[in-house]
Copies of this chain bind each other. A is one copy, B any other.
Amino acid sequence: MRQSHLFTKTRKEAPKDEVAKNAQLLTRAGYIHKELAGVYSYLPLGLRTVNRIVQVIREEMDAIGGQELVMSALQDKELWARTDRWDDKNVDVWFKTTFASGGETGLGATHEEPLTRIMCDHVSSYRDLPILAYQFQNKFRNELRAKSGIMRGKEFLMKDMYSFSADDESHKKMYALIREAYIRVFDRLGLGEITYPTFASGGMFSDFSEEFQTLSEAGEDVIYVDEDKKVAVNKEVYTDESLAKLGLTKDQLVEKRAVEVGNIFHLGTRFSEALNMNFKDEEGNSIPAIMGCYGIGPTRVMGTIVEVLSDEKGLVWPKEIAPFEVHLVSLGNDHEEVQKEADRVYEELTQRGITVLYDDRAVRPGEKFADSDLLGIPTRLVISEKTMTQSGVEVVDRKSGNTQLVPESELLKRLQSA
């Protein structure tokens, strides 16, 4: 894409009302726009980044047999009343509203109830199980405070997945499969080394649930990390009793701040019983399915990546989720030959399937470089009179700042192997 065509502009100053680093940088770089506290729109570069995060998650969920669907935001009050989760006393983040045709509705903050009801129509026998279904869908949570940018919103994108199994053994296998898939997701998103499966309070059906916590000073959680075992414990279960159950000892644990980027839960039969999501087992008995739920917030992940990877110059995206792979910067506004060469490189890379943001704007080199640093695309290519004299292209790595003159003939090979 030609940058002269991109409608968003960068800005030097962060908006005064943003305190979170992720919101400040993403706004300055033109990735997002704040609509209301905790409510953001995603502009072209931001949407491209979200979509790449979504695609990584989708590939890993599909690889373990996940089936994608999408449920509605508007929720059936009667359904939620059956599980005792309609009342604001029990669930305190509802946005509720009224139908013109009569009756109340609310905006879904999670989707155990509607998916369980859907399964009632499609599952009758143990032969239909297990089922693993997921969606990317906007959740609505009526949060009192929203000061963490896109890391905690009132409206935000969520990958929520739910499993339905015939028995405990099958459920445990499914849970383990998903846990491994989550580890792969965070590896691919560039957060693997600082993301810990973390034991947290478990609810009614297990001693613990597991969170995926990414180390960051911007995090709201306090966790205790065992580096050797590559696991952690959330402060809420940091007790002698819990640690004994987990086989962990306090002298091996280091306190850290972290962001919860994912979580996986055993739900048991809490929802399937309440909503009669029963199936016939091998003996012909009608019994409720065993469920689990598994979340990752793509926009929260995006905010977390900004918090932990950006530097004083701006955003720094891992290659797998950057809005473009290459930022091509032409310093050829006044030099027709340079402009032509940059056009040629742009066409060639694009034709080879490499995604390129091409800064063809008529602005000063200093402004182009500052913008390029701010936008955070992993690889910058600079074409100027100087590089043309040297028959090469300057390749700059955004993260390390390393700069190298690469002969034109080797450019494509270099980019494809990067």
Which listed residue, B8, B97, B101, B155, touches A144 by the CB 8 Å rule?
A: B101
Query: With A44-B68, A143-B100 in contact, do A74 and B35 touch (Cβ < 8 Å)?
Result: yes
Contacts of A119 in B (CB 8 A): 7
- Contact of B7 with A138 in the complex, beta carbons under 8 Å: no
Is residue A96 contacting chain B, with contact meaning CB distance below 8 A?
A: yes
Please report which residues of chain A, range 47-104, place their CB below 8 angstroms from some CB of chain B when the two chains form the complex.
Answer: 47, 65, 67-76, 92-93, 95-101
Interface segment out of the listed A121-129, A202-210, A220-228: A121-129
- Contact of A36 with B74 in the complex, beta carbons under 8 Å: yes
Write the nearest CB–CB distance from A361 to chain B, whole angstroms: 10
Please report which residues of chain A, range 4-40, place their CB below 8 angstroms from some CB of chain B when the two chains form the complex.
Answer: 5-9, 11, 30, 33, 35-37, 39-40
Is residue A355 contacting chain B, with contact meaning CB distance below 8 A?
A: no
Is residue A118 contacting chain B, with contact meaning CB distance below 8 A?
A: yes
Contacts of A308 in B (CB 8 A): none
Which listed residue, B97, B114, B118, touches A95 by the CB 8 Å rule?
A: B97
* Interface residue total, chain A, C-beta cutoff 8 A: 59
Q: How far is the CA of A11 from the CA of B123 in the complex (A)?
A: 12
Query: With A33-B121, A105-B36, A114-B35 in contact, do A41 and B72 touch (Cβ < 8 Å)?
Result: yes
Contacts of A74 in B (CB 8 A): 35-36, 39, 95, 140, 154-155
Please report which residues of chain A, range 259-286, place their CB below 8 angstroms from some CB of chain B when the two chains form the complex.
Answer: none
Query: With A97-B97, A99-B154 in contact, do A42 and B65 touch (Cβ < 8 Å)?
Result: no
1/0 per residue, CB under 8 A from B, across A179-214: the answer is: 000000000000000000000000000000000000
Q: How far is the CA of A99 from the CA of B96 in the complex (A)?
A: 10
Is residue A405 contacting chain B, with contact meaning CB distance below 8 A?
A: no
Contacts of A396 in B (CB 8 A): none
Q: How far is the CA of A131 from the CA of B7 in the complex (A)?
A: 7
**23 A–B contact pairs at CB < 8 A?**
A7-B67, A7-B128, A7-B131, A8-B122, A9-B128, A35-B76, A39-B72, A41-B70, A41-B114, A44-B68, A44-B69, A46-B69, A47-B68, A47-B69, A47-B70, A74-B95, A74-B154, A95-B98, A95-B105, A96-B97, A97-B107, A101-B144, A101-B145
